[in-house]
Every structure is written in structure tokens, then in C-alpha cells.
Amino acid sequence: MDRVGIIGVGMTKFGERWKKGLRDLIAEAGLKTIQDANITGDKIDAIYGGSMSAGRFVGQEHIGAVIADSMGLNPIPSSRVEAACASGGLALREAYLSIKGGEYNVVVAGGVEKMTDSCTEEASLTLGGAGDQEWEVFNGATFPGLYALIARRHMHEYGTTEEQMAEVSVKNHANAAKNPLAQFQFEVSREQVMKSPKVADPLKLLDCSPITDGAAATVLASEEVAKEYCDDPVWIDASAQATDSLAVHDRKSITGLNAAKVATEKVFKKSSYDRSEIDLAEVHDCFSIAELCALEDMGFVKKGEAGKAMEEGRFNLNAELPINTSGGLKGCGHPVGATGIKQAIEITKQLRGEAGKRQVDEAEVGLTHNVGGSGATAILHILSGGR
């Protein structure tokens, strides 16, 4: 069966984009990716756009139509997909499957969120909707609170320390400082993370990803078309998705995300690569503990050992396995609908050798790990520049 390749990528700067509206962000990212693909709009067959909650953030629904309209791509079919913070990853997966299944040849997969038009309290309530509204949000649980429970249990069972969690933010800020499109282009120290205000004990402000505006887009194409338009397509080698219970209290364990474990096994079973061949990964670090859990869930370290490995620097830029070279959600920012696409863009740039100061030496195979809510959805992709 023909492969599916990424032939174009584009994204806005992530951050507090006060002078840009939702349509502006969509148009900017869309134009960049179409130009990067060197393709014209009449060659595009469909659009899949990830957006978690534009209706609550900016009062705009019918996002599929908004995306096509903003990009000047009417009347092609345009669909909005939603999987909370994994909406972007889902858009990429749906675009991939639509080409893999033979329905389309060229598809745009994108994501967008305009979050800062809402006050912090409203944004927190909206984000809370990615969890269990009846049993968690109604009873006062916030997302920092839910991940704080995960962190506390992980600390209790495996001896993980707050200092080890802080190293996640230190690493990701160091990478973001090298990324001109990142929200936070500055480094932080472990001491700064530890002294930052507590949000939900043991998580502090610098353990948490920010509220962010931004958009990102990719152009995917069938193998024949990809080779026609691009000398070096990045191939989507495998894609997988899994789900778990919405409420944290219904899960068998809260020290890891079972959906991520299942999706990992699926994606490697489908892939022509194994774990040892992964050169770098973009993982979902909405909170520092989430990155540690992700590394364990995906089998890159044994359960309970991610904190120690992080402290040893094993996931730093050009170390054993570089993680979140973009800066991750923590440093680059987290416009929830766009995050999964941004992850794929970072891997694509790395495999093309276009990541600038954060370029990983001899990167050939990368992985993206995108999580919805507190772990009810997990979507993984393996991307390669060869074979």
C-alpha cells in the first residue's frame, strides 16, 4: 500500500497573540504550509482541522468551514475534529487515514486555538471540560489538580522527587530558547522552578504549560504525489490511537496513562522501526509529571525510572534520546487544538535538517505522542525521512 508523506509544514508563533484573531492565525499557518509544499489550492482534496473548544474560547463554532474560508479553499470538504488536547494529533491521523484508504491524494491537516481572549478562570473551566464534567469538574477538580494527584502517587510509589520533575521544565525551556516560534524563549533553572508559586501541590507554576494562541498546519500527500512535489518527503510510517476512562478515579492505575501504553504497542506493531531506532520524540508535557509518565508509558525507561533518567540528562538535546526539542508544551506553548500538529512539524523539520540551533545530529526517525485531557485519548505517530 502506498505511503503517506508530509510535503509541507507551517505554523504561527505561539504565545499571547493579542492582535491576531482566530481567522488570522488559521490563514497565517495555512499560507505558510501551502507555500512550503509548493502546491496550489486546487490540488488539495480535503482539510481536517483540530480545535478543542473555539466555541467557548472565542464564541465560534463550525470551525471546519471557518478553516476552509480563511485559507481560501472553498468548496473542498473541511472537517473539524476534536479530542481535547489531542485534537491536532487526531486531525493528522484522520488526514493520514483518508489518504491511506484511497479517498484523497492531498490533504491539509491543521490545528488552531485562540485561548487568551478568555480570562484565566474561563479558560480553566473550558479546559476542565476535557475531563469528567460530572465527577471531576463539578466537584472542583482542575487539570493541575488531577495531574498533581498523578504526581503525588508517582512520588509515593517510585520515589520521584519534585526536583526531578523540575528538570523537565529546565530541559524544555532550554530547547524553547532556541526556537524562534516558541512562546517562552528563555531558560530557567531548577531553583527558579522550585521557587515558582504553587498551583496544585506538588506542581508549581513552572511545572505547568501556559495558555496559548497559535495555529499549525501540514500538507499530506500520497506517495506518488509526494514525490512529484517534494524531493524529501517525511513519511508517516505508522499511526495509532487508544482511549481510556474519562475520569482519573476509574482507572486501574494513575501513575501512567493506559491509553498511551496501548497506542504505543499499536504504533510499533504497525511500524517498520522499533524503539531503539527512534532518534527523537515530541511528547505531551502539559505538566512536568506528564512527560515522565509518557517516557515510561512508551517503554523508553522502566516504570518509576524516568525521574532519575531526566536528572541524568538522558533526554537533553543531542543526548541519548532528545525529547521535546521544540520546547514542548511547556516552553513552546500549548494552543490545545494545534499542539499535535506542532509536534509533527518539529519532527518534520528535524528530519529535514531544518531545526537550526536545536537540530539533532543525524535524525532519521521521530515519534509524536499527543494526549487528550488527563489521558482519556492518546495518539502516536512515527515519522521517518528514509526507507
What fold, for 4-119+211-234?
Peroxisomal Thiolase; Chain A, domain 1 (3.40.47)
Q: Which one is the CATH code of 132-209+238-381: 3.40.50.1820, 3.20.20.70, 3.40.47.10, 3.40.50.1100?
A: 3.40.47.10
- Distance separating alpha carbons of residues 112 and 336, to the nearest angstrom: 7
Decide if 4-119+211-234 and 132-209+238-381 have a common fold.
Answer: yes
- Distance separating alpha carbons of residues 350 and 21, to the nearest angstrom: 29
Quick check: 1 pLDDT over 80? no
Per-residue pLDDT tens digits for 125-175: 888 888 888 888 888 888 899 999 999 999 999 999 999 999 999 999 999
* Per-residue CA distances from 79 to 37, 49, 107, 152 (Å): 21, 6, 11, 39
pTM confidence score:
0.97
pLDDT for position 317: 96
Active-site annotation holder among 154, 284, 334, 381 = 334
Active-site annotation holder among 85, 230, 286, 293 = 85
- Summarize the confidence of residues 58-86 as an average pLDDT: 96
Answer yes or no: 334 catalytic. Answer: yes
If residue 111 lies in a helix (H) or strand (E), which one and from where to where? Answer: strand 106-114
- Distance separating alpha carbons of residues 123 and 102, to the nearest angstrom: 39
Answer yes or no: 85 catalytic. Answer: yes
pLDDT for position 211: 95
pLDDT above 70 as % of the chain: 99
- Distance separating alpha carbons of residues 338 and 90, to the nearest angstrom: 10
Per-residue pLDDT tens digits for 268-289: 999 999 999 999 999 999 999 9
Quick check: 6 pLDDT over 70? yes
Residue 386: pLDDT band by 50, 70, 90 thresholds? low
382: left (phi over 0), alpha (psi -120 to 50) or beta: beta
Per-residue pLDDT tens digits for 345-355: 999 999 999 99
Domain boundaries, the chain: 4-119+211-234, 132-209+238-381
- Distance separating alpha carbons of residues 240 and 378, to the nearest angstrom: 8
**Over the chain, what is the mean pLDDT?**
96
